[in-house]
Amino acid sequence: MIAIFDWDGTLCNSIDHIVESMRDAATELRMEPPPAEDVRNIVGLGLPEAISRLFPGIDESRRADVAGAYSRHFASPDRAPAALFDGALSALNGLRDRGIELAVATGKSRRGLDRVLGSLSLGDFFDATRCADETRSKPHPMMLHEIMVERGKSATDTVVIGDSEYDLGMARQAGVRSVAVSFGVHSEDRLAAYAPLAIVHDLPALLELEVFSR
Protein backbone atom coordinates (compact mmCIF):
# COMPACT_ATOMS: atom_id res chain seq x y z
CA MET A 1 0.00 0.00 0.00
CA ILE A 2 1.03 3.60 -0.54
CA ALA A 3 -0.15 6.68 1.36
CA ILE A 4 0.10 9.82 -0.78
CA PHE A 5 0.09 13.03 1.22
CA ASP A 6 -0.56 16.60 0.27
CA TRP A 7 2.11 18.90 1.71
CA ASP A 8 0.91 22.42 2.60
CA GLY A 9 -1.86 22.29 5.18
CA THR A 10 -1.65 18.52 5.57
CA LEU A 11 1.88 17.65 6.65
CA CYS A 12 3.33 21.16 6.82
CA ASN A 13 1.96 24.04 8.87
CA SER A 14 2.60 26.57 6.10
CA ILE A 15 -0.78 28.09 5.30
CA ASP A 16 -0.14 31.43 7.05
CA HIS A 17 3.26 31.59 5.37
CA ILE A 18 1.61 31.19 1.96
CA VAL A 19 -1.06 33.78 2.70
CA GLU A 20 1.42 36.37 3.91
CA SER A 21 3.78 35.78 0.98
CA MET A 22 1.03 36.17 -1.63
CA ARG A 23 -0.35 39.32 -0.05
CA ASP A 24 3.17 40.79 0.28
CA ALA A 25 3.83 39.98 -3.38
CA ALA A 26 0.72 41.93 -4.40
CA THR A 27 1.72 44.87 -2.23
CA GLU A 28 5.22 44.89 -3.74
CA LEU A 29 3.69 45.05 -7.23
CA ARG A 30 1.23 47.78 -6.20
CA MET A 31 -1.74 45.49 -6.67
CA GLU A 32 -4.67 45.08 -4.32
CA PRO A 33 -3.75 42.25 -1.92
CA PRO A 34 -6.35 39.49 -2.10
CA PRO A 35 -8.25 38.74 1.10
CA ALA A 36 -6.53 36.19 3.30
CA GLU A 37 -9.46 33.79 2.99
CA ASP A 38 -9.22 33.90 -0.80
CA VAL A 39 -5.55 32.96 -0.62
CA ARG A 40 -6.28 30.14 1.82
CA ASN A 41 -8.85 28.81 -0.61
CA ILE A 42 -6.31 28.30 -3.41
CA VAL A 43 -3.67 26.52 -1.29
CA GLY A 44 -3.08 23.19 -3.00
CA LEU A 45 -3.31 24.42 -6.57
CA GLY A 46 -0.25 24.93 -8.72
CA LEU A 47 1.08 28.49 -8.59
CA PRO A 48 -0.08 29.50 -12.12
CA GLU A 49 -3.60 28.24 -11.39
CA ALA A 50 -3.63 29.95 -8.00
CA ILE A 51 -2.53 33.30 -9.45
CA SER A 52 -5.14 33.10 -12.21
CA ARG A 53 -7.86 32.64 -9.60
CA LEU A 54 -6.61 35.35 -7.28
CA PHE A 55 -5.88 37.96 -9.96
CA PRO A 56 -8.33 37.32 -12.81
CA GLY A 57 -7.81 39.36 -15.94
CA ILE A 58 -4.09 40.09 -15.61
CA ASP A 59 -1.89 39.23 -18.58
CA GLU A 60 0.80 36.58 -18.80
CA SER A 61 3.63 39.02 -18.07
CA ARG A 62 1.91 40.26 -14.92
CA ARG A 63 1.22 36.70 -13.78
CA ALA A 64 4.93 35.99 -14.13
CA ASP A 65 5.67 39.09 -12.02
CA VAL A 66 3.34 37.85 -9.28
CA ALA A 67 4.86 34.37 -9.37
CA GLY A 68 8.37 35.76 -9.04
CA ALA A 69 7.46 38.12 -6.22
CA TYR A 70 5.57 35.40 -4.36
CA SER A 71 8.49 32.98 -4.62
CA ARG A 72 10.92 35.61 -3.33
CA HIS A 73 8.75 36.44 -0.34
CA PHE A 74 8.05 32.79 0.45
CA ALA A 75 11.77 31.91 0.41
CA SER A 76 12.88 35.06 2.23
CA PRO A 77 15.27 34.34 5.11
CA ASP A 78 13.31 36.92 7.11
CA ARG A 79 10.40 34.50 7.34
CA ALA A 80 10.54 31.68 9.84
CA PRO A 81 10.62 28.37 7.96
CA ALA A 82 7.41 26.39 8.01
CA ALA A 83 7.39 23.35 10.29
CA LEU A 84 5.63 20.02 10.20
CA PHE A 85 2.39 19.74 12.14
CA ASP A 86 2.65 18.19 15.58
CA GLY A 87 2.64 14.43 15.29
CA ALA A 88 3.37 14.40 11.56
CA LEU A 89 6.71 12.64 11.75
CA SER A 90 5.55 10.07 14.29
CA ALA A 91 2.50 9.30 12.12
CA LEU A 92 4.65 8.91 9.00
CA ASN A 93 7.09 6.64 10.80
CA GLY A 94 4.20 4.64 12.23
CA LEU A 95 2.81 4.05 8.74
CA ARG A 96 6.23 3.08 7.42
CA ASP A 97 6.68 0.62 10.30
CA ARG A 98 3.54 -1.13 9.00
CA GLY A 99 5.09 -1.53 5.57
CA ILE A 100 3.19 1.34 3.95
CA GLU A 101 5.05 3.37 1.35
CA LEU A 102 4.94 7.16 1.63
CA ALA A 103 4.63 9.79 -1.11
CA VAL A 104 3.88 13.48 -1.56
CA ALA A 105 1.67 15.03 -4.26
CA THR A 106 1.77 18.80 -3.96
CA GLY A 107 0.92 22.05 -5.65
CA LYS A 108 4.40 23.30 -4.76
CA SER A 109 7.14 23.62 -7.35
CA ARG A 110 9.92 21.04 -7.42
CA ARG A 111 12.39 23.65 -6.24
CA GLY A 112 10.11 24.66 -3.39
CA LEU A 113 9.44 21.12 -2.22
CA ASP A 114 13.10 20.11 -2.41
CA ARG A 115 14.05 23.21 -0.45
CA VAL A 116 11.65 22.53 2.41
CA LEU A 117 12.41 18.80 2.51
CA GLY A 118 16.09 19.65 2.73
CA SER A 119 15.51 22.14 5.53
CA LEU A 120 13.65 19.46 7.49
CA SER A 121 16.28 16.78 6.76
CA LEU A 122 13.66 14.78 4.84
CA GLY A 123 15.28 14.87 1.42
CA ASP A 124 15.31 11.07 1.03
CA PHE A 125 12.39 10.27 3.33
CA PHE A 126 9.58 9.73 0.83
CA ASP A 127 9.38 6.92 -1.69
CA ALA A 128 8.01 9.24 -4.41
CA THR A 129 7.09 12.90 -4.86
CA ARG A 130 5.31 14.88 -7.57
CA CYS A 131 5.02 18.65 -7.91
CA ALA A 132 2.63 20.80 -9.90
CA ASP A 133 5.31 22.23 -12.19
CA GLU A 134 6.32 18.78 -13.49
CA THR A 135 2.83 17.37 -14.13
CA ARG A 136 -0.79 18.58 -14.04
CA SER A 137 -2.11 20.66 -11.16
CA LYS A 138 -4.71 19.27 -8.79
CA PRO A 139 -7.50 18.28 -9.01
CA HIS A 140 -6.35 16.58 -12.23
CA PRO A 141 -5.29 13.04 -11.26
CA MET A 142 -2.13 12.87 -13.36
CA MET A 143 0.30 13.22 -10.45
CA LEU A 144 -1.40 10.35 -8.64
CA HIS A 145 -1.31 8.15 -11.74
CA GLU A 146 2.40 8.90 -12.18
CA ILE A 147 3.20 7.98 -8.58
CA MET A 148 1.14 4.80 -8.78
CA VAL A 149 2.92 3.71 -11.98
CA GLU A 150 6.33 4.57 -10.52
CA ARG A 151 5.69 2.54 -7.37
CA GLY A 152 3.72 -0.26 -9.02
CA LYS A 153 0.53 0.39 -7.05
CA SER A 154 -3.07 -0.13 -8.08
CA ALA A 155 -5.98 2.08 -7.09
CA THR A 156 -6.93 -0.36 -4.35
CA ASP A 157 -3.41 -0.07 -2.90
CA THR A 158 -3.48 3.75 -2.77
CA VAL A 159 -4.87 6.24 -0.25
CA VAL A 160 -4.63 10.03 -0.56
CA ILE A 161 -4.46 12.22 2.57
CA GLY A 162 -5.24 15.91 2.16
CA ASP A 163 -6.81 19.05 3.59
CA SER A 164 -8.53 20.46 0.51
CA GLU A 165 -11.20 19.61 -2.01
CA TYR A 166 -8.44 19.69 -4.64
CA ASP A 167 -6.76 16.74 -2.92
CA LEU A 168 -9.95 14.76 -2.48
CA GLY A 169 -11.19 15.67 -5.95
CA MET A 170 -7.92 14.42 -7.39
CA ALA A 171 -8.34 11.15 -5.50
CA ARG A 172 -11.91 10.77 -6.74
CA GLN A 173 -10.87 11.32 -10.35
CA ALA A 174 -8.08 8.76 -9.95
CA GLY A 175 -10.49 6.23 -8.47
CA VAL A 176 -8.60 5.95 -5.18
CA ARG A 177 -9.69 6.30 -1.57
CA SER A 178 -9.00 9.39 0.50
CA VAL A 179 -8.72 10.57 4.09
CA ALA A 180 -9.25 14.23 4.96
CA VAL A 181 -7.61 16.27 7.72
CA SER A 182 -9.71 18.94 9.42
CA PHE A 183 -6.95 21.43 10.30
CA GLY A 184 -6.10 22.70 6.81
CA VAL A 185 -7.65 25.11 4.33
CA HIS A 186 -11.12 23.71 3.63
CA SER A 187 -13.99 23.11 6.03
CA GLU A 188 -15.17 19.70 7.11
CA ASP A 189 -18.42 20.26 5.20
CA ARG A 190 -16.53 20.82 1.95
CA LEU A 191 -14.33 17.82 2.57
CA ALA A 192 -17.23 15.54 3.52
CA ALA A 193 -18.82 16.18 0.11
CA TYR A 194 -16.06 13.99 -1.39
CA ALA A 195 -16.91 11.01 0.85
CA PRO A 196 -13.47 10.43 2.38
CA LEU A 197 -12.98 7.28 4.46
CA ALA A 198 -12.56 9.53 7.50
CA ILE A 199 -11.88 13.10 8.57
CA VAL A 200 -9.14 13.12 11.19
CA HIS A 201 -8.29 15.94 13.55
CA ASP A 202 -4.60 15.15 13.96
CA LEU A 203 -2.13 13.08 11.99
CA PRO A 204 -1.46 10.35 14.59
CA ALA A 205 -5.17 9.46 14.26
CA LEU A 206 -4.30 7.99 10.84
CA LEU A 207 -2.75 5.05 12.68
CA GLU A 208 -6.15 4.21 14.17
CA LEU A 209 -7.87 3.85 10.80
CA GLU A 210 -8.73 0.38 9.54
CA VAL A 211 -7.41 1.15 6.05
CA PHE A 212 -3.88 1.46 7.49
CA SER A 213 -4.12 -1.43 9.93
CA ARG A 214 -3.21 -4.24 7.55
pLDDT, one tens digit per residue, over 143-171 is 999 999 999 999 999 999 999 999 999 99
What range defines the domain where residue 163 resides? 2-13+83-212
- Residue 145 and residue 169 share a domain: yes
Q: Which of 27, 56, 74 is the last residue of a domain?
A: 74
CB 85 within 8 A of CB 13: yes
- Residue 104 and residue 6 share a domain: yes
For residue 213, the model assigns a pLDDT of 87
- Residue 187 and residue 115 share a domain: yes
- Residue 66 and residue 32 share a domain: yes
Q: How far apart are CA 44 and CA 33, in angstroms?
A: 19
* pLDDT tens per residue, range 30-75: 999 999 999 999 999 999 999 999 999 899 999 999 999 999 999 8
- Residue 189 and residue 204 share a domain: yes
For residue 214, the model assigns a pLDDT of 63
H or E segment and range at residue 207: none
- Residue 157 and residue 99 share a domain: yes
CATH number for the domain spanning 70: value is 1.10.150
- Residue 111 and residue 45 share a domain: no
- Residue 171 and residue 199 share a domain: yes
The answer on pLDDT for 22 being more than 70 is yes
Total domains in the chain come to 2
- Residue 153 and residue 88 share a domain: yes
For residue 82, the model assigns a pLDDT of 78
- Residues in CB range of 123: below 8 A, 6 or more apart: 114, 117
* pLDDT tens per residue, range 70-109: 999 998 877 777 799 999 999 999 999 999 999 999 999 9
